[in-house]
């Protein structure tokens, strides 16, 4: 069987490895328009902020690894269009040469694209986006310029907040804008976003929340940002307001979700039985909402690639759904969450209650300690846990994995009340904050 994979980042790589490692004898063709594969975009801010030594290790594999397994790879190659009826992918190399690749099965792993706000001045120089490795290189080069003193970051989601920190660590004045009333509002409720906002301001970030950018001004290069509250002088703009699924190749043939993503079933199969879609270009099933949704995360991309690889090769494997587990660390403050926040549950139409608790990580007599804040969100009618959030300067990230499993399995808040959690002063309190948060639930 001949299998063509369009897109070779996290999802495409996971699908290719699944096929090459487990199903010998198939012809695997991998196509990507980029010069590289497997770039960990989540590390871009670490590199720009010089928190790591180099960007080199942000690439976790290379084309030679796949060629050694027998795959045929075309880099710097665009897919112009796909003839789904004849099962032919029409390609074009960087030198302009055209060629076709037929397929028995096609896996679309085309990812997502940055959202570009359609406002005056959007085509001025000095306005950057952050998705691909080359875009990270461009932003790093701009921030390295001595004449770039003030950096404006548009969008205070994960990428925007991390980039604001990176620019500040490079000695720049940083303005952070978002139309939302706080940073990272997608995944966290205000008891956590307030803490993050304070951390940003305490470290010199000039936060402008609830303030939409309406125009960029400048002759050739953006020199001012305009909002309803005024104009701000800037030397560099980085737009990080979000992403949209990249579904241009199949939007006229395949069924789409309400946001334009390819609609797939639990096997990652599209409305065309010969075509599978994975990663940021496709839908995913949320165990918190218990419905099809769209969550663009690298971890989800990898899982969807594994599922698609097995199904394409003939092994029936259903995805088990996701919770959208995530985390962030900015200026030493660490946040992790899974499932739905109270705000997110309201948007999804789920009637929830929540329980909060705050305490020290370890007993008070321990010299090394930190405060931990936790919120557990649960559905009122069923009492099943639909989400959790935790924040601390301590690394409490492993706890969120337990909550991810709880959401996946429909565990109730009451099941957590007497959960067997060990105690040792080196690690935690005898009355653990997870236990106490569950016990205080009404």
The set of catalytic residues is 10, 42
427: left (phi over 0), alpha (psi -120 to 50) or beta: alpha
CA-based radius of gyration for the chain: 23
Phi, psi of 318 (to 5 degrees): -95, 140
């Amino acid at each position: 069987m001949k299998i063509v994979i369009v897109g070779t980042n996290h999802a495409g790589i996971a699908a290719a490895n699944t096929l090459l490692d487990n199903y010998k004898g198939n012809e695997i063709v991998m196509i990507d328009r980029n010069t590289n594969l497997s770039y960990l975009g989540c590390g871009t801010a670490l590199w720009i902020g010089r928190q790591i030594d180099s960007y080199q290790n942000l690439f976790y594999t290379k084309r030679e690894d796949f060629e050694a397994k027998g795959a045929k790879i075309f880099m710097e190659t665009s897919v112009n269009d796909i003839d789904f009826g004849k099962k032919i992918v029409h390609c074009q190399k960087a030198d302009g040469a055209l060629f076709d690749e037929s397929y028995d099965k096609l896996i679309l792993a085309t990812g997502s694209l940055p959202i570009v706000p359609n406002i005056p001045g959007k085509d001025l120089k000095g306005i950057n986006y952050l998705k691909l490795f080359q875009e990270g290189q461009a932003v790093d080069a701009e921030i390295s310029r001595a004449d770039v003193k003030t950096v404006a970051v548009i969008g205070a989601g994960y990428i925007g907040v991390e980039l604001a920190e990176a620019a500040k660590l490079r000695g720049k004045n940083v303005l952070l804008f978002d139309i939302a009333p706080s940073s990272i509002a997608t995944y966290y409720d205000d008891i956590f976003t307030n803490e993050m906002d304070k951390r940003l301001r305490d470290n010199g970030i000039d936060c402008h929340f609830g303030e939409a950018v309406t125009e960029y001004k400048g002759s050739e290069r953006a020199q001012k940002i305009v909002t309803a509250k005024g104009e701000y002088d800037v030397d560099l703009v980085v737009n990080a307001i979000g992403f949209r699924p990249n579904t241009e190749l199949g939007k006229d043939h395949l069924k789409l979700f309400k946001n334009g993503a390819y609609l797939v079933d639990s096997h990652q199969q599209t409305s065309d039985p010969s075509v599978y879609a994975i990663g940021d270009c496709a839908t995913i099933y949320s165990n918190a909402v218990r419905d099809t949704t769209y969550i663009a995360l690298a971890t989800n991309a990898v899982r969807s690639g594994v599922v698609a690889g097995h199904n394409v090769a003939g092994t029936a494997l259903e995805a088990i759904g996701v919770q959208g587990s995530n985390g962030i660390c900015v200026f030493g403050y660490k946040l992790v969450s899974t499932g739905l926040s109270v705000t997110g549950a309201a948007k999804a139409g789920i009637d929830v209650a929540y329980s909060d608790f705050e305490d020290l990580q370890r007993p008070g007599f321990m010299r090394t300690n930190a405060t931990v804040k936790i919120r557990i969100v649960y559905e009122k009618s069923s009492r099943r846990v639909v989400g959790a959030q935790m924040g601390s300067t301590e690394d409490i990230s492993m706890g969120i994995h337990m909550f991810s499993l709880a959401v996946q399995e429909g565990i109730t808040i009451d099941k957590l009340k007497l959960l067997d959690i060990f105690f040792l002063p080196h690690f935690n309190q005898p009355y653990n904050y997870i236990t106490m948060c569950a016990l205080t639930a009404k």
